[in-house]
């Protein structure tokens, strides 16, 4: 796979992995369980902010291929569903990481959110936002380069084609049979 395709995929995965690492760190360090919904909300709002700041060229294609059967879901419903799904997934990951940490240390969860917890939310949010914008900008430039290459290839193909024949007495195909005008006169 060329680097031009691997880089956006790796950056997109990194923006998601940053929040997952933050959840695992919170679980291992016995932070407050209140950090889980806050991280889920931060991840959802970061994704929304990235879409507003740097829209992806893929979104236009997705809209073109959506089913015309019924109205599209309301954006608030999609946002709520994403936040709830993230909260459940992050809660499960938080619980597993806390269980694994409990095998090696005494587990006592923090009762309040501290500055460290807010830093654990802020750092992944900023990193995910920056990588998300970078991915969208990279994808847009790659799409523009690809379109330019396609246009150049079509222009080259048209330049290589011979001009139109001077007379209409050139061979042609009719119903899968090649008709030669010289043979018609016989």
Q: Note the pLDDT tens digit of each residue in 121-173.
A: 999 999 999 988 888 777 777 767 777 888 888 877 777 766 555 455 676 67
Q: Write out the residue range of the structural domain in which residue 106 sits.
A: 3-174
- What do you get for the CA distance between the two ends of the chain, in Å? 59
Question: Does some domain include residue 86?
Answer: yes
Residue 170 φ then ψ, to 5°? -90, 150
CA dist 44 and 82 (Å) reads 7
Dihedral sign, Cα of residue 87, residue 88, residue 89, residue 93: positive
CA dist 118 and 42 (Å) reads 11
**Residue 40: band (very low, low, confident or very high) from pLDDT cuts 50, 70, 90:** very high
Question: Does some domain include residue 140?
Answer: yes
pLDDT tens-digit map of 59-107: 666 666 666 666 667 778 888 888 899 999 999 999 999 999 988 888 8
Q: What is the pLDDT of residue 94?
A: 93
CA dist 71 and 137 (Å) reads 30
Question: Does some domain include residue 180?
Answer: no
Q: What is the pLDDT of residue 138?
A: 77
Question: Does some domain include residue 125?
Answer: yes
Question: Does some domain include residue 186?
Answer: no
Question: Does some domain include residue 183?
Answer: no
Domain count, the chain: 1
**Residue 41: band (very low, low, confident or very high) from pLDDT cuts 50, 70, 90:** very high
CA dist 176 and 179 (Å) reads 9
């Amino acid at each position: 796979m060329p680097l031009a395709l691997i880089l956006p995929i790796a950056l997109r995965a990194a923006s998601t992995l940053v929040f997952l690492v933050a959840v695992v760190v919170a679980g291992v360090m016995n932070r407050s369980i209140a950090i889980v919904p806050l991280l889920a909300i931060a991840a959802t709002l970061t994704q929304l902010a990235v879409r507003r700041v740097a829209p992806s060229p893929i979104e236009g294609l997705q809209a073109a291929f959506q089913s015309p059967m019924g109205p599209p879901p309301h954006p608030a419903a999609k946002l709520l569903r994403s936040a709830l799904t993230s909260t459940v997934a992050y809660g499960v990951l938080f619980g597993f990481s806390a269980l694994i940490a409990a095998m090696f240390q005494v587990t006592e969860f923090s009762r309040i959110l501290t500055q460290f917890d807010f830093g654990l939310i802020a750092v992944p949010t900023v990193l995910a936002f920056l990588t998300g914008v970078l991915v969208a900008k990279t994808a847009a430039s790659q799409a523009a380069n690809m379109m330019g290459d396609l246009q150049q290839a079509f222009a080259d193909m048209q330049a290589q084609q011979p001009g139109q024949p001077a007379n209409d007495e050139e061979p042609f195909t009719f119903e899968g049979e090649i008709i030669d005008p010289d043979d018609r006169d016989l």
